[in-house]
Amino acid sequence: MLLAAFAAAAAGVSWLALRPRNAAAPASHADTTPDGAAATAAAPPTAAAITLPRGSWRAAAIDIQPAAVGVLDQATTLTGKITLNEDRVAHIYPLVEGRVAEVDVGLGDAVKKGQQMAIIQSREVGQAMLQLAQDRLQLGFARRKDTWTQSVATNTQAMIQLLRANTPVEEVETQMRNRPLGEYRDKLMTAYIAHATARKNLDRLTPLQDQGIVAARQIFEAEAAWTTARATLQSLLEQIEQDARQAAVMSAQAVQELQTRVAVDETALEILGFDRGAIATIDPQQGEALAHCPIHAPFDGTVISKDVALLEHVGPTNQILGVADLTTVWLTADVYEEHLRLLQRAANQSVTFRSAAWPDRVFAARIFYTGDIVDSATRTVALRAVADNADRMLKPGMFVTVELPAPAQATVLQVPLTAIQEHEGRAFVFLHMGDDAFQRRDVKLGRRNAQGVEILAGLAAGDRVVVNGGFALKSRMLADLLAE
C-alpha cells in the first residue's frame, strides 16, 4: 500500500512539472475548442457524493488540482536508428599492391589526423622513390651546367659587342679577363687579332705605294688579306653569337624538362599518400625503407574495422581499415505518408529522441534531410538528422524513439492523464466538492499527449479535479454501487 502511494505521489509531481501553460480560471462553465471558440460544456450527470475522510488522503495519495487552459504539446512518435555520420567515415584501401610490413592500430583505437596506422611494402613505391632520386640528381647536374652555359652566353655577347666596336686587343683582354667564355675566347681572339693584323699591314703599306717603294701587287695582297680576315671575323661573330644563344636556350630547356620530371615523380608519390616532408628527405641509401608506403588516418576518429594482418598481401581492392568520427552521429527514421505534413518546414530544425539505454536523457538532433521520394514498399520518406555525440553515449546501430513536433500547438482545457478514470466504457473524473466530499463527473475527451488530455465537455476551467489517488475513490464508488 505504501509503495502504491509513493508511485501515485510521484505521478502527481510529474504533472506539476508539466502543468499547462497560461492557465486561466474563468468563472463560467465553458470549454475551449481547438479553434479557440468558446463551447458550452455538457451538463454533468447527477452523481452521489463520495466521502473520504481527510485523514485517509495521504495513504490514498490524493492530489487535487484545478482543470486549466493551456498549450497541449503534441508529438508524433517514430522508431529511429542511430547510424554513423556518413560524411565522417572512411573505408581505407591501399593505393598500391604489396605486403603488410607493419600494423600500428587496433580495433577501437582513437587516431589523430595524419597518424600512421599501417605500412605497406610495395615495389611500385620503391621504384617511384628511386626514379625521383635519380631525376633529382640529374636536375642538380643540369642546373650547374646551365649556370655555366648562361654565364658563357652572357660573356660571349659582351665580347662580341667589344669586337664589333673595334676595341683594341689589349682593352678586350683586360675587360674579359677572368670571365668564362669556354671555347669561344680563343676562336674570337684569334680571328680578331688576324683581322687587326691585316688591317695594320694594309695601313702600313698604303703610304709606301705613293712613294713607289711597294709594288701594287703587295697592296693588292694586303687588301685581300684584310678583306678575308674581316669576312672571317664577321662570319665567326654571327655564328658564335647564334651558338651561344642556342646553347643557353637548350640548357634552360634541359633544366625545365628535368624540373617537370621531378615534379611528376613527387606528385605521383603524393597521390600514394606521402607528404611533402617525407618526399623532400628521400635518400637512396635508406635501402628497403624506400619501398614503405604508410597508411595515415584521414581525420581524427576511431578505428571501427580492421581487416589486415601482418605480412598479408593487399591491394587496391582490399579494404584494410575503417575510421569513423564518432563525435557526431546520424539519426535516421522513416516517416509515414500521413505524417509528411510535419516535415514541410523541418529542414534545419531540431528533433528530440530517447534511447532505452538512457531513459532519463533526452537527446536532440538537427534535421538536414527530409527525403524527396516515397519508398514504394514501405510508403515512407527518409528523415536524416545529425546529433552531437561528444560523450559517446549514442552507439551506431542503437534504436531510439523519435518525437516529431506538431506543426501547431493548441490551447485547450486539459487535465493530467492520471485524473481520468473509466467505468462501463465512460470516462470520468472526481471533483472535490469541499471538505471530505467528492463527486464523479463524466467528461468527453479530445487530443492527448504523454502527460495530459483535452477535455471537450464535462468540466470548466478552475474545477478542482483529483489528479492522483482516484483509484481509492473509484473503489469506494464501486462499493457504494454494489451496496445499492
Q: Is residue 429 part of a domain?
A: yes
- Is 59 within 8 Å of 5 (Cβ atoms)? yes
Q: Is residue 461 part of a domain?
A: yes
Output the pLDDT for position 37. 37
473 and 378 belong to one structural domain: no
Answer whether residue 477 shows pLDDT above 90: no
Q: Please give the Cα distance from 409 to 38 (Å, whole number).
A: 17
Q: Is residue 280 part of a domain?
A: no
The percentage of the chain sitting over the pLDDT mark of 70, rounded to a whole number, equals: 87
* Last residue within a domain, chosen from 358, 382, 405: 405
Domain that holds residue 68: 2-73+409-483
Output the pLDDT for position 330. 97
Q: Is residue 449 part of a domain?
A: yes
Output the pLDDT for position 221. 85
136 and 156 belong to one structural domain: yes
Answer whether residue 66 shows pLDDT above 80: yes
User: Can you give the CATH number for the domain in which 471 is found?
Assistant: 2.40.420.20
Of the pLDDT bands very low, low, confident and very high (cuts 50, 70, 90), residue 208 is confident
388 and 454 belong to one structural domain: no
Q: What is the mean pLDDT of the chain?
A: 86
161 and 237 belong to one structural domain: yes
pLDDT in tens, 104-160: 999 999 999 999 999 999 999 999 999 999 999 999 999 999 999 999 999 999 999
445 and 457 belong to one structural domain: yes
Q: Please give the Cα distance from 458 to 460 (Å, whole number).
A: 7
Query: Can you give the pTM of this predicted structure?
Result: 0.58
pLDDT in tens, 29-50: 334 344 433 333 444 445 778 8
30 and 152 belong to one structural domain: no
Of the pLDDT bands very low, low, confident and very high (cuts 50, 70, 90), residue 287 is confident
Q: Is residue 293 part of a domain?
A: no
Q: Is residue 312 part of a domain?
A: no
Report the pLDDT averaged over residues 75-97.
93
Higher local confidence (pLDDT), 408 or 232: 232
167 and 183 belong to one structural domain: yes
Output the pLDDT for position 212. 66
8 and 59 belong to one structural domain: yes
162 and 241 belong to one structural domain: yes
Output the pLDDT for position 1. 35
- Is 356 within 8 Å of 105 (Cβ atoms)? no
380 and 431 belong to one structural domain: no
Q: Is residue 28 part of a domain?
A: yes
Residue that has been written with the C-alpha cell 674570337 in this structure:
188
208 and 136 belong to one structural domain: yes
- Is 52 within 8 Å of 436 (Cβ atoms)? yes
Q: Is residue 46 part of a domain?
A: yes
* Last residue within a domain, chosen from 203, 237, 269: 269
Domain count of the fold of the chain:
3
Q: Please give the Cα distance from 456 to 418 (Å, whole number).
A: 17
Output the pLDDT for position 484. 63
* Last residue within a domain, chosen from 376, 405, 434: 405
pLDDT in tens, 228-250: 999 999 999 999 999 999 999 99
133 and 260 belong to one structural domain: yes
Report the pLDDT averaged over residues 210-228.
81
Q: Please give the Cα distance from 80 to 403 (Å, whole number).
A: 10
User: Can you give the CATH number for the domain in which 357 is found?
Assistant: 2.40.30.170
